[in-house]
Amino acid sequence: MHLVILFLFFFPSTVTRKPDTSENLKMIVINGNPVYSPGVVPGSRGDWTQCLEECRTTWNCALVTQTATGCDFLLLNQVKSITPSDSGPKVAFKMNLVDQCPSGSPPLSGNPVSKVIESNGIDFFETEVTSDSDSKLIFNYTVFKCLKDFPENPVLRGEYPIRVVYPLTSKFLPGEEFFMKGKIRSTFNGSFSISFFSAANGNYPLFIKVINGWRSTPYTSSAWDNGIELSTWYNTTYRYPVTIEGYPNPFNLSDAFEIRVNSSDTQVFVYLNGTTKLIFDLEPRFPLETTDQFIINDSGYPHEKISDYYFGWTGECWWEPME
Ligand SMILES: *[C@@H]1O[C@H](CO)[C@@H](O)[C@H](O)[C@H]1NC(C)=O
Ligand SMILES: *[C@@H]1O[C@H](CO)[C@@H](O)[C@H](O)[C@H]1NC(C)=O
Ligand SMILES: *[C@@H]1O[C@H](CO)[C@@H](O)[C@H](O)[C@H]1NC(C)=O
Ligand SMILES: *[C@@H]1O[C@H](CO)[C@@H](O)[C@H](O)[C@H]1NC(C)=O
Ligand SMILES: *[C@@H]1O[C@H](CO)[C@@H](O)[C@H](O)[C@H]1NC(C)=O
Ligand SMILES: *[C@@H]1O[C@H](CO)[C@@H](O)[C@H](O)[C@H]1NC(C)=O
Ligand SMILES: *[C@@H]1O[C@H](CO)[C@@H](O)[C@H](O)[C@H]1NC(C)=O
């Protein structure tokens, strides 16, 4: 698990945030012998035609096999492969086709033979069928997972010697959550920052600065020493933020902290240790969903220090083998 998370951090996966559910599913019927996973007892259904339709419209149906009385009904992960054989029973599985017949010569060659993504309404599951050199059809099942919260054993980002840039591979939309934990530095006069930066537009839809010391620049009287500033910036080379709001900082030196950020279309909500909620109006010109990078310690000043920190978000997603 450690390795997986580490990998994801340095090379964010390029999968789309929420794959589409196929709308053009067809049942492909061939003759062959399916190989089931060990211990699987197929469900059965009464009528072959209904069986085909039920499988086509059931998100977790992998395959149906014709029997004397109807069909055997197999779910995702219950079928390993099909060995095509003219003397075998009729078996059927899903393909994603608009109107044409399967391409390839013979039709079920080509890799993948079929790739279908379906959802139970919460998670996404992909069934990929490939054909090996003996024309055997191999079924592979993967599930699309996203971080929902801190991983059980987060790999701490540590005291990075530089600013940390984390590119987003999908949009930070309402419903998404950013989470970070760490430890405030032990010596006075420091701060650290979390940027929601839009590299594409050169602005900061959200800039969070946690200050344990004197604020370095008195932008406005609403900013605080020992405070937390939420602001938006056109571009940091401009001396002043576009909007800024100051709040008391509940964290003291050496304190462990937890910060979560989520949003509506017009406001951002920053939760401190799950107890304090800061509400900040987004700048309409800088929608939060244009964020394409999180940056920790953007300025890279030596006083921008925190330790033992971890951050992640709900858009950190990957495919993994289905269990
Ligand atoms: C099928 O899944 C297994 C285990 O996850 C993997 O080793 C194999 O490469 C996959 N095959 C294909 C064709 O994707
Ligand atoms: C933000 O997170 C809080 C705490 O988990 C939750 O109660 C709230 O519904 C979330 N708001 C949005 C807009 O997602
Ligand atoms: C804190 O930093 C400010 C600005 O850099 C400086 O003026 C001040 O003397 C420092 N205070 C302490 C106690 O280090
Ligand atoms: C920020 O503004 C400076 C000065 O106008 C400009 O040179 C720079 O390209 C801008 N940066 C971005 C990311 O737009
Ligand atoms: C913060 O910590 C300092 C010493 O580290 C202590 O003197 C001070 O009382 C603490 N403040 C609060 C509000 O707990
Ligand atoms: C915040 O939570 C951490 C534990 O996650 C705790 O150690 C720390 O004292 C808390 N800080 C405040 C100010 O409540
Ligand atoms: C920020 O950058 C400074 C200087 O490069 C470094 O000393 C500090 O540890 C960094 N802090 C974080 C949180 O990355």
Q: Whose CA is nearest to atom 1 of ligand 2?
A: 262
28 pLDDT above the threshold of 60:
yes
Mean pLDDT within 79-98? 92
305 pLDDT above the threshold of 80:
no
Give the 3-state secondary structure percentages of the chain, helix then strand then coil, rounded to 5: 5, 45, 50
Q: Whose CA is nearest to atom 9 of ligand 1?
A: 140
**98 and 199, same structural domain?**
no
Rounded to 5 degrees, φ, ψ at 2 are -55, -50
- Token look-up 């096999």 returns 65
Specify the pLDDT at position 70: 93
Q: Whose CA is nearest to atom 14 of ligand 3?
A: 189
Which of 87, 115, 146 lies at the terminal end of a domain, its last residue? Answer: 146
29 sits in which H/E element:
strand 25-36
**164 and 258, same structural domain?**
yes
Mean pLDDT within 173-198? 91
- Candidate from 237, 238, 292 with most ligand 4 atoms within 8 A of CB, to mutate: 237
**186 and 46, same structural domain?**
no
Nearest alpha carbon to residue 75 among 47, 49, 114, 36: 36
Instruction: Say which CATH number the domain at 287 has.
Output: 2.60.120.200
1's CB contacts (< 8 A; 6+ apart) are 151, 152, 153
**154 and 121, same structural domain?**
no
Specify the pLDDT at position 189: 81
**199 and 57, same structural domain?**
no
**39 and 171, same structural domain?**
no
**What one-character DSSP code corresponds to residue 125?**
E
**45 and 123, same structural domain?**
yes
Q: Is the CB of 128 under 6 A from ligand 6?
A: no
Q: Is the CB of 187 under 6 A from ligand 3?
A: no
Q: Is the CB of 262 under 6 A from ligand 2?
A: yes
**211 and 123, same structural domain?**
no
Mean pLDDT within 254-267? 96
Mean pLDDT for the chain overall: 85
Model pLDDT for residues 119-172, shown as the tens digit of each residue:
888 888 999 999 988 889 999 999 998 898 998 877 766 555 567 889 999 999
Model pLDDT for residues 52-84, shown as the tens digit of each residue:
999 999 999 999 999 999 999 999 999 999 999
Specify the pLDDT at position 6: 30
Specify the pLDDT at position 223: 59
What are residue 113's DSSP bridge partners? Answer: none
Ligand nearest to the CA of residue 142, numbered in listed order: 1
Q: Which of 81-95, 157-171, 274-288 has the lowest mean pLDDT?
A: 157-171
202's CB contacts (< 8 A; 6+ apart) are 234, 235
**What one-character DSSP code corresponds to residue 99?**
S
> Is 13 part of a structural domain of the chain?
no
Which of 113, 146, 179 lies at the terminal end of a domain, its last residue? Answer: 146
> Is 12 part of a structural domain of the chain?
no
Specify the pLDDT at position 12: 35
Report the distance separating Cα 117 and Cα 41, nearest Å: 24
Specify the pLDDT at position 104: 61
Report the distance separating Cα 124 and Cα 243, nearest Å: 39
230 pLDDT above the threshold of 90:
yes
**154 and 138, same structural domain?**
no
- Candidate from 226, 253, 254, 273 with most ligand 5 atoms within 8 A of CB, to mutate: 253
**257 and 193, same structural domain?**
yes
Residue 140 CA, ligand 1 centroid: distance in Å:
6
> Is 323 part of a structural domain of the chain?
no
Instruction: Provide the residue range defining the domain that includes 280.
Output: 148-316
Specify the pLDDT at position 224: 66
**124 and 43, same structural domain?**
yes
Asked whether the beta carbons of 81 and 34 are under 8 A apart, the reply is: yes
Distance from the Cα of residue 114 to its chain's centroid: 24
Which of 98, 127, 146 lies at the terminal end of a domain, its last residue? Answer: 146
Specify the pLDDT at position 299: 79
**286 and 163, same structural domain?**
yes
How many structural domains comprise the chain?
A: 2
Mean pLDDT within 244-269? 94
Report the distance separating Cα 277 and Cα 319, nearest Å: 33
> Is 240 part of a structural domain of the chain?
yes
Specify the pLDDT at position 14: 40
Specify the pLDDT at position 13: 38
Residue 260 CA, ligand 4 centroid: distance in Å:
29
Asked whether the beta carbons of 292 and 200 are under 8 A apart, the reply is: yes
Asked whether the beta carbons of 221 and 250 are under 8 A apart, the reply is: no
- Token look-up 């937390």 returns 228
